[in-house]
Structure 1
Amino acid sequence: MDRSRRTQDPRSRRRTGRNLLSHPRPLRAFTALAAAALAATGLTVIGDGGTEAAAASPAAASHTSAAARTAAANLAKNPGFESGLDNWTCSGGSGAAVGSPVHGGSGALKATPEGADNAKCSQTVSVQPNSSYTLSAWVQGSYIYLGASGTGTTDVSTWTSSASSWQQLSTGFKTGPSTRTVTIYTHGWYGQPAYFADDFTLDGPGGGDPGEPVPGAPGGLATGTVTASSVALSWNPVTGASGYNVYQDGARVQSVSGASAVVTGLTPSTSYQFQVTATNSAGESPKSAAVSATTKEGGPGPSVPKHAVTGYWQNFNNGATVQKISDVQNQYDIIAVAFADATGTPGAVEFRLDPALNYSEAQFKADIAAKQAAGKSVILSVGGEKGTVSVNDANSANNFANSVYAAMQKYGFNGVDIDLENGLNATYMTQALRSLSAKAGPRLVITMAPQTIDMQSTGGSYFKTALNIKDILTVVNMQYYNSGAMNGCDGKVYGQGTVDFLTALACIQLEGGLAPSQVGLGLPASPRGAGSGYVSPSIVNNALDCLAKGTGCGSFKPAKTYPGIRGAMTWSTNWDASNGNAWSNAVGPHVHGLP
């Protein structure tokens, strides 16, 4: 990261190269142009904005031709649920076979999301390596997803936000060079009503050698490292197995290729039972003997309040007031230290105090501890406008998690903020953050600061990442600035700098799957804090009132209120201090006074 430029440029977070809508147009037109561009590069837009990798070779195209689909056998077992839930596994007992409504035959799936369970129903299917497949299903309901995992290449999914009658979802994928099984699935979304699915079809070459035996049950299952939210498992490899399924209290929670796994997202001080099975193209083995483990108690550290104010603290001098952590105004509940930088190791980051601040490491650590003793969370922000951290494979994901955790242990940070403004890989950033969560425990604070363009659709990588880690995510503080005009959740275009811009864009996140407690409004603390988009603190407060209470709205008024909305964020505590702390003095008490 170019520190000299940051020192000279008073708008270090200005995204002049990232303003995709400097000449704003309705997103529908933008999407049409994007679709044409995607088509030219071998990608296709699926469903309500989800983007999937398309088959790129002539052989792949032949697999998806109408003639091939007609001739191919359906690889999905019990695809119409005529035999109840045979061959299907539904999370948390969320699924049931029903006789109405049905798309075809006499049965269909009804699955009901509850709490943190999104009602995922899946089955593992035998396939051939280096082959192309088309997956489709008929669905009915709100926010329904269809996908395939364990493909060995790029896992795919598509979705629809609303299917009042039966609607067909379809996507395609290619298997990797050693892939013998894939898992096909459907799921709904948190807080949504029950959905229905029927008539699954998986077209492509069938897998397996008819003479290949089903593998035996794994032996030697044992627990390893146990934290407050995770349990590490290992077992003896099974001859002839191409993969393994992990079961938690009788429900399958993971599919892995090797003889080890880490089960995450667990509750502190809780006993769990685990089993594993071995799989290959011929089928799945019996379950192993069970082992039990009790998670540890929750770790120390402050909890983020119901309504919170986040502020970025600058580890550099760009013309704003230079601060120590102890100088940060008391209204801030989360202090994001900006920024960690990339190292020469892929995915790894490091943090070093800027020598120009004349701030000793010992005092920095002591100031963090003092803020935490006062109930604040201090986290490490990764990225920024000029950040070049890339997490694009399993190795870099592991390096990211290890390096962030090392920084947490060294300085006492409570968590991490993802502020990567040059793109991210949803699959591997999810892996990295879940690995970090397994190390740090349930009090880990994870925040995000995407640009507005990154949260326009649940098909975007940032939005996907947020939804993937919804069970461990603290808050997404989208940057409502440096963006021009954008679509709101009602399909209308709103210009930045207004109450409508804040509320209509927040609505996309609130209705797209994030909990109200995971949505915050990110604004500059002063006109000098960003290139454009500054609004007075009163506008921020009006937008919060509109979302939480239905008052103070502009022309856009959400269909319902979100009293649990988390709060607001600003760039930065330093620019706030340069402006007499006017932003935090106005917005802070208002956030803390929300219902």
Structure 2
Amino acid sequence: MQFWMALILTLRLVQPNTMMNLLGHLNGISQQKKVYLAAAPQCPFPDTHLDTAIKTDLFDYVWVQFYNNRDCQYAGNASNLLNSWKTWTTVQANQVFLGVPAAPEAAENCGFIPVDVLKNQVLPSIKRLLPSMEGTQKDPNMTARKQLSFLLLSLLIISLCKSSQAAGIAIYWGQDNNEGSLADTCAAGNYQYVNIAFLSTFGNGQTAVLNLAGHCSPSANTCTRFSSEIKACQGRGIKVLLSIGGGKGTYSLSSANDAKQVANYLWNNYLGGKSNSRPLGDAVLDGIDFDIELGLTHHYDELARSLNGFSQQKKVYLAAAPQCKFPDDHLDAAIKTGLFDYVWVQFYNNPTALCQYSGNANNLLNSWKTWTTVQAKQVFLGLPAATAAAPSGGFIPADVLKSQVLPSIKTSTKYGGVMIWNKNFDNGYSASIKSAV
């Protein structure tokens, strides 16, 4: 398998005439011992580099990369992909494979297909297209082999994609009724993560309360309408998390047992568990964001451990939004557990901590360097989307961010991208920086 991968990558770099000579020699060797030939073209048809080679009719496997190519990949619906698939099944090859990324992070420009969508919408359709390929068979057994090939998904995690550390933009949504719908937020194409804000009351024996400003009323059970929008976001490969805490609210954890009870509540009402009163309906969120700014500082490490324990049933992504002052007053112990996937540091509204942008980036860059030492998979640069979004400062003009800040912080192996507060204030800011993120 490793040899096939190496051969595929080599074919991308050689000239057509050289490629044809190479294929001829390899096919000739098959008279001594079978040499299997595979190709991994991009889904735009025909492939710029491999079209001539594929037309030789010498390839046993063609696994088409239906990702990182917006015109022929899955993007919330499968129409473009299925049309492209139909074209690719006409090539002269023994078997054609559906190449998809194993996770949203595996493909910089997307194309990830959630498992349920793949099984329910895509695979049934490409199965129906298989009979039209019978005319290209090389032997009587090819029908059976082609009917099985659609199951052998080519999960190509190779150098053509970024690693699982691909950068992206996270946004907070839910605190202003004028910010638009959740579905529209995800459809904008600017974000890879959406934090639904906030679960502002929890712990210490209190009844948990979801506060989405004017969007809906949990007590009237009207927030369940966001279930379909959450699923639509996830269908685009966007991770949707519930943010707990915030700058206003009544929350705290009184004990380790209290932390466990809150974790159970979050699992059953927002994550992969079961409850008859799920505030956001039957949508299963991807994880929990800790935006802890008030109250007691204890037991959030135990909350993180309890939530992480549920990952044995379904992965629970954990995020934290500490202040840029290091270490954070409320989340230091939690972050030190090493369980957090994303730490988006708030480099704003902290004027006395000397860690935010204030006409020059020196303090911010020094603070960033410190934050990249924490035990977390990825660290994000948290910024306000506009001056009005952070009354105590920290806004960075897009041109300054792109020319002075991002080039420096992107050198860190833990760089995960940019977090933006919040959707209501994001009037073009994320769109102007996303190509540089």
TM-score, L = length of structure 1: 0.40
C-alpha displacement at 1:312, in angstroms?
Answer: 0.1
Query: 2:201 maps to which residue?
Result: 342
Letter in 2 for 1:482: N
Query: 2:347 maps to which residue?
Result: 480
> Aligned partners of 2:367, 2:247: CA distance in 1, in Å?
21
Q: Which is bigger in relative contact order (C-alpha 8 A, separation at least 6)?
A: 1
The 4+ residue runs of structure 1 with deviation greater than 4 A are 352-360
Q: 1:437 aligns with which of 305, 308, 313?
A: 308
Aligned ranges 1:281-296 → 2 under 5 Å = none
Alignment RMSD, CA only? Answer: 2.7
What SS is found at the alignment partner of 1:413? coil
Q: Is the 8 A contact 1:336 1:381 kept in 2?
A: yes
Query: 1:183 maps to which residue?
Result: none
1:457 aligns with 2:307: no
What SS is found at the alignment partner of 2:420? strand
C-alpha displacement at 1:449, in angstroms?
Answer: 1.2
Aligned ranges 1:528-567 → 2 under 5 Å = 528-531=388-391, 532-541=393-402, 542-548=404-410, 561-567=411-417
Deviations, residues 258-314 of structure 1 (Å, cap 9, x unaligned): xxxxxxxxxxxxxxxxxxxxxxxxxxxxxxxxxxxxxxxxxxxxx976212110002
Q: 1:405 aligns with which of 247, 267, 279?
A: 267
> Aligned partners of 1:357, 1:346: CA distance in 2, in Å?
24
Q: Is the 8 A contact 2:347 2:357 kept in 1?
A: no
C-alpha displacement at 1:344, in angstroms?
Answer: 7.5
Deviations, residues 89-136 of structure 1 (Å, cap 9, x unaligned): xxxxxxxxxxxxxxxxxxxxxxxxxxxxxxxxxxxxxxxxxxxxxxxx
Identity over aligned residues, as a percent?
A: 26
Letter in 1 for 2:244: V
C-alpha displacement at 1:351, in angstroms?
Answer: 2.3
Unaligned runs of at least 5 residues, structure 2: 1-162, 272-277
> Aligned partners of 2:358, 2:295: CA distance in 1, in Å?
22
Letter in 2 for 1:514: Q
Query: 1:14 maps to which residue?
Result: none
Number of residue pairs the alignment of both structures matches: 257
C-alpha displacement at 1:589, in angstroms?
Answer: 2.2
C-alpha displacement at 1:374, in angstroms?
Answer: 0.7
Q: Is the 8 A contact 1:313 1:325 kept in 2?
A: yes
Q: 1:571 aligns with which of 395, 418, 421?
A: 421
Letter in 2 for 1:439: F
Deviations, residues 350-395 of structure 1 (Å, cap 9, x unaligned): 3265555599534310000011011001111111111221013122
What SS is found at the alignment partner of 1:396? helix
> Aligned partners of 1:315, 1:407: CA distance in 2, in Å?
20
What SS is found at the alignment partner of 1:478? strand
Unaligned runs of at least 5 residues, structure 1: 1-302, 489-493, 549-560
Query: 1:322 maps to which residue?
Result: 179
1:586 aligns with 2:436: no
Letter in 2 for 1:429: Y
Query: 1:207 maps to which residue?
Result: none
User: Compared with structure 1, are the counterparts of its residues 333 and 315 closer, same or farther at alpha carbon in structure 2 (3 Å cutoff)?
Assistant: same
User: Compared with structure 1, are the counterparts of its residues 347 and 463 closer, same or farther at alpha carbon in structure 2 (3 Å cutoff)?
Assistant: farther
Aligned ranges 1:382-393 → 2 under 5 Å = 382-393=244-255
Aligned ranges 1:76-225 → 2 under 5 Å = none
Letter in 2 for 1:325: L
Query: 1:509 maps to which residue?
Result: 371
Q: Is the 8 A contact 2:198 2:242 kept in 1?
A: yes
Q: Is the 8 A contact 1:347 1:397 kept in 2?
A: no
Q: 2:383 aligns with which of 518, 523, 529?
A: 523
Letter in 2 for 1:504: N
Q: Is the 8 A contact 2:378 2:415 kept in 1?
A: yes
Letter in 1 for 2:334: T
C-alpha displacement at 1:457, in angstroms?
Answer: 3.4
> Aligned partners of 2:340, 2:206: CA distance in 1, in Å?
20
Letter in 2 for 1:457: P
Q: Is the 8 A contact 1:524 1:572 kept in 2?
A: yes
Q: Is the 8 A contact 2:197 2:212 kept in 1?
A: no
Q: Is the 8 A contact 1:483 1:496 kept in 2?
A: no
Letter in 1 for 2:342: V
TM-score, L = length of structure 2: 0.53
Q: Is the 8 A contact 1:338 1:382 kept in 2?
A: yes
> Aligned partners of 2:333, 2:204: CA distance in 1, in Å?
26
Query: 1:417 maps to which residue?
Result: 289
